Chains A and B, each alone.
Chain A
Amino acid sequence: MKIRLAGWDSTGLRSPDVKLSLAEHGKVPRLVLLQMPNGTGKTTTLNLIQAAMTGSAANWTAEQIGDLQRAGATNPTGTFVLRLLVDTSPLVFEIHFDFVEGAAAYRTSSPSLGGVVEGWKCPPTVRRFLTESFASLFVFDAEFADRLLKPQFAEAERAIDALCQLDLLDRTAAVAESDWDRASRGQGARTPQGLNLYRNRRDSLEKREKDLSRALKGLKRNNELLKEEAAQHEKSIADRIAESQKFREQSQELRERVSNARLRLAAASLQVMAYVRQPQLLDDRFGRALIAFRDSLDRARLPEASSRQFFLELAEEAECICGRPISDHERGQILEHASKYLGDELAGVINAIKADIGQHVGGDVRVAERQLYKVSTHELGAAEAEYHEADTALQALTAEAFREDEEKQLMSIQAQITEKRGQIEENEDQIREIERSARSTDDENTLCLAAIRKQLREARDKIAEISNTVRMRQETVAIQQLAARSKIIARDKLREVLRVECNERLRRILANDPIQIKRIGQSLELEKQRGASVGQTLAVGYTFLTSVLHRGSHDFPLIVDSPAGSLDDKVRREVGAMIPVLCEQFTAFMIPTERPYFLQALESRGTDDIRYLTLFRKSSGTQTLIQGLPNHGVTQTTNAVLVDGRDYFNQFELADEPEES
């Protein structure tokens, strides 16, 4: 990708009205020398070129914009148009200045933007280079070279970072940071400390879950043992009672009665439960409610997927299912109304519910079943009464046996049974608490195993979530460390490489008055910097920029204000000879007094691809110049003259814009 300066138009501004076209058939000259007397608006034009490239005028103050209006002029607007070539494609930025409102408005045109668009719109391919920071590296004045030597400006570091693309490392770090920020937004804990809190909670919940599971198992096993022991004791009591002549037979009989009554009670319970599952048998009100529910459901429909074919086939039959013949009229009616009877798959479920309610609620079936239900409840009552009666009789017999037991052995065994039953009861209370459903009020101290497992699941989920965030943060930090460290190493390497390279060139350029770069940090540090002349400083600046530009393989137009203004004759020769190899397009804004030595050196490099332009204002002081204009290569606007040609360029001697007379 290469950028070329193809020209500019200036109208109604402090600089003269001019339309400058540098491109011919998509090609621009390698060197453009634009000679303008002091006061013709060199600095204004350079500022406008930078502003057009970077979109910065949109942020200018009304005062800055007002300064662009020619002194004494009353025109309400002014326009600056910058034409660039990006590779071979045109890119045009237009700034419209409104001096009344003190505002600047942009328009951009480019084939990649689809033509002309409002505002400063930079095609993505060059956006990175057309920033204020970057553009100032290739559109600059002699003061820039001076700033390269001043640490407070850090221009040398900025130039290395931008032109050697170290800034790209910052971009990777920034993308990683914003990605992490987006991913972790809205999450609570995002740090290793937060993660540890949840890990501790998980560990304690895991321990609690294990303890409770173990306790539950122990309680159940203990209860089994206790029940077994209680049963043995009961058997022991029964055996002792049976040993007595007096109680043996009665005891055996009662035990059999109790046993049979228990079986009868169980059977009756099962029977009643079977009826309880049919609520319409319990009470008429259930039956009536079910009928009302059935009637509120949609009219019967058939599942469409499986039933549509039924109607299609029926319509083809000669006779209906009711036995009547099907004529064309009936056939049409069947097909037309079939959809009324078709519904979605849910229709099948609704039909089944309706059919079940019809079958089980109401009619003779209901009456008969209710009768059976009543019989079974009577049986349950009778079984229960029988059981209680037998059990009470057995207990009474046992109590009598206890009373007659002089050694009180039975009492002692019974006391053990009572104790064991108490333990069993206590254990069952705990088992119920451990096995109950979780409640919202349960905390980590609860005995409820389901609640602990729920909290454990939540803690594990949270850990997974935070772990991901923490891992992502660690990756982000590692990426940023890698980018930052790479940049530091690259800067150090490049600084040293550039220092050696620059010093070698400076030894040649300033052979009679050499100066060397001691160190490149944020700025350039010279050996004996205090004694360096302006010319030496500028030579160092050019040398450095040349080296960095070459290193970065950038193909930008270098646009310089007064390239040889402060140089002495010798340095002018050197700098003049250096410029043609600086870049592929060099545009210099210069005054006539810069020509000596500089121009000869420039031309001596063998390039004939040089455009010589001379621009001056029309004024009473330049009337004689206007009268002496050449026949060819002259363009005049209302307030300026532009002459294209080497001869005129070389003979032009007006160093300063004359005062209006």
Chain B
Amino acid sequence: MPIDPELIASVEEAARELGQEKAAQRLLKWLKDMSERELDSAEELQHLAALRSAIKTDAEDGGA
């Protein structure tokens, strides 16, 4: 079933607030997939990896 338009708008708004605009679409894709079917563990981790790669962090690589 489709996810609520207010939920979509809220994720986008929260992402803007937190400076994670790029991550919003990845999170929404995951939520939409979850709302339509039961995801297995591998599929969840795939969504998570995509989301992680879009997340902005201030971690350095340590110069190593």
> Which residues of A pack against B, CB within 8 Å?
1, 124-125, 127-128, 164-166, 168-169, 171-172, 175-176, 179, 195, 198-199, 202, 460-461, 463-464, 466-467, 470-472, 474-475, 478-479, 481-483, 485-490, 493-494, 497, 551-555
Q: How far is the CA of A169 from the CA of B58 in the complex (A)?
A: 24
Known: A199-B62, A464-B62, A552-B1. A486 touches B48 (CB 8 A): no
Query: Are B45 and A175 in contact, CB atoms less than 8 angstroms apart?
Result: yes
Query: Which chain A positions have C-beta within 8 A of B38?
Result: 124-125, 127-128
Query: Which chain A positions have C-beta within 8 A of B1?
Result: 1, 165, 552-555
Query: Are A168 and B4 in contact, CB atoms less than 8 angstroms apart?
Result: no
Interface string of B11-44 (1 = CB under 8 A from A): 1011101101001100100110011011010001
Nearest CB in chain B to that of A199: its residue: B62
Query: Which chain A positions have C-beta within 8 A of B6?
Result: 164, 490, 493-494, 497
Which of these, A171, A471, A487, A488, contacts B57 with CB under 8 Å?
A471
CB distance from A157 to the nearest CB of B (A): 15
Nearest CB in chain A to that of B20: its residue: A482
Nearest CB in chain B to that of A491: its residue: B10
Interface SS of chain A: helix
Query: Are B23 and A164 in contact, CB atoms less than 8 angstroms apart?
Result: no
Interface centre among A1, A474, A479 (most CB of B within 10 A): A479
Query: Are A179 and B45 in contact, CB atoms less than 8 angstroms apart?
Result: yes
Q: How far is the CA of A460 from the CA of B35 in the complex (A)?
A: 44
Query: Are A493 and B10 in contact, CB atoms less than 8 angstroms apart?
Result: yes
CB distance from B44 to the nearest CB of A (A): 5
Q: How far is the CA of A195 from the CA of B60 in the complex (A)?
A: 10
Known: A172-B27, A172-B30, A485-B17. A164 touches B60 (CB 8 A): no
18 contacts between A and B (CB under 8 A): A164-B4, A165-B1, A165-B35, A172-B34, A176-B48, A176-B51, A463-B62, A466-B62, A478-B20, A478-B57, A482-B24, A482-B27, A486-B13, A489-B14, A490-B11, A493-B9, A493-B10, A554-B1
Query: Are A168 and B59 in contact, CB atoms less than 8 angstroms apart?
Result: no
CB distance from B16 to the nearest CB of A (A): 10
Which of these, B2, B48, B59, contacts A471 with CB under 8 Å?
B59
Query: Are A474 and B59 in contact, CB atoms less than 8 angstroms apart?
Result: yes
CB distance from B8 to the nearest CB of A (A): 9
CB distance from A457 to the nearest CB of B (A): 10
CB distance from B34 to the nearest CB of A (A): 5
